[in-house]
Amino acid sequence: MRERPGWQSIPALRHDRLFEIKSSEILQPGPAALTDGLSRLRRIIADSARDMMEQADRNP
């Protein structure tokens, strides 16, 4: 994705904030997509928020 023309203007790419979620975690049939997929999303968001807060504390 980084090599595609124009994609460098996307802030998530510039700041290295892309995350992969395996399709089996969010596209599987049944309630597991909610439990597994949401759990994975929660971890990604929590980790990203923590990293951003730590970076803000280091660079006031």
The residue type at 8? Q
Counting the structural domains of the chain, the total is: 1
Q: Is residue 31 part of a domain?
A: yes
Q: Is residue 8 part of a domain?
A: no
* pLDDT confidence of residue 42: 94
pTM: 0.68
Residue labelled with tokens 């990203």: 48
Q: Is residue 33 part of a domain?
A: yes
Please give the DSSP secondary-structure letter assigned to residue 31.
Answer: T
CB 12 within 8 A of CB 18: yes
Q: Is residue 56 part of a domain?
A: yes
Domain that holds residue 37: 22-60
Q: Is residue 14 part of a domain?
A: no
pLDDT tens readout for residues 35-57: 888 889 999 999 999 988 998 89
The encoded tokens of residue 19 equal: 């995350």
Residue 59: which pLDDT band, with cuts at 50, 70 and 90?
confident
Quickly count: other Cβ atoms within 10 Å of residue 19's Cβ: 12
